[in-house]
Structure 1
Amino acid sequence: MKASLFSGPVVGLFASLLLNRPVLAANNTDPDPPTLPLSSTSNFNFNFLVGLSNALSGGADIGPILGVAQKTQAAPGDFPFYTAAFHELALETKAQAEDPDNAFDPINVRDAWFSTAHYFRRADEVNHRNWSNPQINSFWEEQTAAFNKGLAALPIPAQRIQIPAREDNFTIEAIWYAASESNSTKLPTLIIGNGLDAAQEDSYHHFVAHALLRGWNCITYEGPGQPTVRRTQNLGFIPEWERVVTPVVDYVLSEKAHVVDTDRLVLLGNSFGGYLAGRAAAFEPRLSAVIMIGGPWDAYAGFTTQLPSELLPIYEAGNYTQFDDTVLSLREAGELPPDAAWGLDYGLWAMKTHSPSEFFNLTKQYRLDDVADRIEMPVFIADAEFEFVSKGQGQRVADAIGPNAQRHLFNGTAGYHCQTGAYQELTRTMHAWLHKTLGKGQGRSKSA
């Protein structure tokens, strides 16, 4: 089969695997994109937007991100070059963080180490084709160690915890962030989960820092398939996400009951984590509300609409060997577009399969159709004008949940997947909805 089959829609398919690194279609195809593209490779552009956004909360600096963007202009789609550029930046920033002259000021310490951690995560992003690549673990060890130093320098140091999954043989990795030093003040609390590839460390910059300033406690978590658990426990994703969220709720309501307002206990899911949050909420009545940001209604349905007509019949006929050989041979020959190559590499690694057809088979388990009617608490659905694979699915989620759901469509510069590059607008809108829906004044915090 010719490589030309992988032009056009199929780029979006693999680049958008599980909706955590979509093709930012407006950047590359719209005649008048809402933002200035920083790379002709949309996955690179997405990462640069993430980096610029993290500057809001001390997790990056604008100049260094633009510097990497400029360097990679000479090598669009070159994964090793991109990885090396961010790795170099991570090492430079680590050296600055280790400078004894910075130790006088906890803000210096926090920003330098959070930025170091972030740059190591960006270096890791496109580096998953070869599962035996030692950098998959070494970069993560570096980012974790750096992030821990940033956590310790917060006004109220955060706490890493491990939560055993109830009746399961895995451990949930989590971080608890307190919004107050009081041991008796009960505050609203967010439980925050990401999607396919973003780490719980990313959640600090995307959501936690903004929530702490508004007086919300936060706990971030990772389950099977997500970055730390995939590495340390060798586990791919599981569809029954209530097996992950319920133990987290148990922990919050037992170990943190003295500081948690149980009338304002909210589950937030970002990207593919939006679906995961919806799935878990169907089985977790103790939640007060749910926020679903960019999550799909039906992952398999979204992906198959992106397959070109020549490939879908091969897969649906069960000719899995032919389907796999075609996709993998193009990847081996370097003939997949870079966005597709990234999606294939990372998606297979996260689902813990070497088979594209098995990946598609697994996605059939990720759908809200069978459980949406069980979601009984208020739901905020953040949809996006330039959503790609799940375009239109946000409305289906809202329709299925019914009167309890409110869908908000973000447009223009806030209209990319998960409002990347517009986190201020996202969090303003989200917290306004929380205040209106759950009531009670939100206290202020010194934690961020």
Structure 2
Amino acid sequence: MTPAVDYALTRPDVDGDNLVLIGMSLGGYLAARAVAFEHRFKAAVFFDGVYDLYESMRKLFPAEAIAAYDAGDRDVCQRIVEEKMQTNTPLKWNMNQGTWSFAVPDAAGILDTSRQYTLRDIVKQIKCACLVMEAESDIFFTGQPERVYDELEAPKTLVRFTAEDGAENHCQSGALSYKDEVVFNWIDATLKL
């Protein structure tokens, strides 16, 4: 992130005193990690906040596949996941996206790699104001935004999106305009523009 900030600060159309980083989905984790080390951001938005990807992955995979993984039987884990993918769209998406994104061959590879994606030892290094967003029916990161919020020591705001406002799904996908209104109002108030 530092090279991108260095470049942005060379541009006359960038207000270097008011940099904001926004991360969506797994980008909520990546943005939090970035601002933990790059302190020139005045604010950050995590929608949704992700504290520990490995914990989320374990909840997404079928229990019997996790049991096989924990027992060291990677082949059985994969067979179970492939069988369940036929009727579980989120699992199928997770497998397709996860194997591609992490450049791994199987479910066990996704689980292995996801262990590295945690804010556990770095969240307290975040200094900028943070907006942590949570969608009440998020199928991927249930409980993760609250963990990010609870661990943050920087100025922080947690906004919960519900079925009542139509933004209860992953990354507020059912009400993006409303999500944007919340984000931009928070940025305006935080930067006091």
Distance 1:385 1:405 in 2: 19
Aligned-pair CA distance for 1:324: 2.4
- 2:176 corresponding residue in structure 1: 423
Determine if the alignment matches structure 1 residue 410 to structure 2 residue 174.
Answer: no
Q: Deviations over 1:130-176 (max 9, x none)?
A: xxxxxxxxxxxxxxxxxxxxxxxxxxxxxxxxxxxxxxxxxxxxxxx
Contact 2:61 2:81 in 1 (8 A): no
Contact 2:54 2:111 in 1 (8 A): yes
Aligned-pair CA distance for 1:400: 0.6
User: 1:392 corresponds to which letter in structure 2?
Assistant: G
Aligned-pair CA distance for 1:276: 0.5
**Could you tell me the percent identity over the aligned residues?**
32
Aligned-pair CA distance for 1:403: 4.8
- 2:190 corresponding residue in structure 1: 437
Which blocks of at least 5 consecutive residues in structure 1 are unaligned?
Answer: 1-244, 441-448
Distance 2:97 2:141 in 1: 19
Aligned-pair CA distance for 1:432: 1.0
Query: Secondary structure in 1 aligned to 2:17?
Result: strand
Aligned-pair CA distance for 1:384: 0.8
Aligned-pair CA distance for 1:338: 5.2
CA distance change for structure 1 residues 338 and 316 in 2, over 3 Å: closer, same or farther? Answer: closer
- 1:261 corresponding residue in structure 2: 15
Q: Deviations over 1:23-75 (max 9, x none)?
A: xxxxxxxxxxxxxxxxxxxxxxxxxxxxxxxxxxxxxxxxxxxxxxxxxxxxx
1:288 to 42, 47, 56: 42
Contact 1:382 1:407 in 2 (8 A): yes
Root mean square deviation of aligned Cα: 1.7
- 1:247 corresponding residue in structure 2: 3
CA distance change for structure 1 residues 284 and 346 in 2, over 3 Å: closer, same or farther? Answer: same
User: 2:146 corresponds to which letter in structure 1?
Assistant: Q
Distance 1:252 1:400 in 2: 29
Determine if the alignment matches structure 1 residue 297 to structure 2 residue 51.
Answer: yes
Which blocks of at least 5 consecutive residues in structure 2 are unaligned?
Answer: none
- 2:32 corresponding residue in structure 1: 278
Alignment of 1:195-214 (within 5 A): none
Q: Deviations over 1:287-337 (max 9, x none)?
A: 111010113111111121344442222101222233224434x38xxx721
Distance 2:66 2:105 in 1: 19
User: 1:434 corresponds to which letter in structure 2?
Assistant: I
Contact 2:65 2:78 in 1 (8 A): no
- 2:117 corresponding residue in structure 1: 366
Query: Secondary structure in 2 aligned to 1:287?
Result: coil
For normalisation by structure 1, the TM-score amounts to 0.41
Q: Deviations over 1:248-275 (max 9, x none)?
A: 1111012x1x221122110010111011
If you compute each CA radius of gyration, which structure gives the higher value, 1 or 2? 1
Distance 1:372 1:342 in 2: 28
User: 1:430 corresponds to which letter in structure 2?
Assistant: V
- 2:107 corresponding residue in structure 1: 356
Distance 2:69 2:54 in 1: 12
Q: Deviations over 1:46-105 (max 9, x none)?
A: xxxxxxxxxxxxxxxxxxxxxxxxxxxxxxxxxxxxxxxxxxxxxxxxxxxxxxxxxxxx
Higher relative contact order (CA 8 A, sep 6+): 2
**How many equivalent residue pairs?**
190
Distance 2:110 2:60 in 1: 15
- 2:142 corresponding residue in structure 1: 391
Q: Deviations over 1:379-423 (max 9, x none)?
A: 011111111231121111011113511110011211111111311
Contact 2:39 2:127 in 1 (8 A): yes
Distance 1:346 1:305 in 2: 16
1:337 to 53, 73, 87: 87
Distance 2:108 2:158 in 1: 33
Query: Secondary structure in 1 aligned to 2:9?
Result: helix
2:69 to 308, 312, 315: 315
- 1:38 corresponding residue in structure 2: none
CA distance change for structure 1 residues 342 and 398 in 2, over 3 Å: closer, same or farther? Answer: closer
User: 2:191 corresponds to which letter in structure 1?
Assistant: L
User: 1:250 corresponds to which letter in structure 2?
Assistant: D
Distance 1:383 1:327 in 2: 27
Contact 1:385 1:409 in 2 (8 A): yes
Aligned-pair CA distance for 1:357: 0.4
CA distance change for structure 1 residues 392 and 327 in 2, over 3 Å: closer, same or farther? Answer: closer
Query: Secondary structure in 1 aligned to 2:153?
Result: helix
Query: Secondary structure in 1 aligned to 2:101?
Result: helix
CA distance change for structure 1 residues 431 and 251 in 2, over 3 Å: closer, same or farther? Answer: same
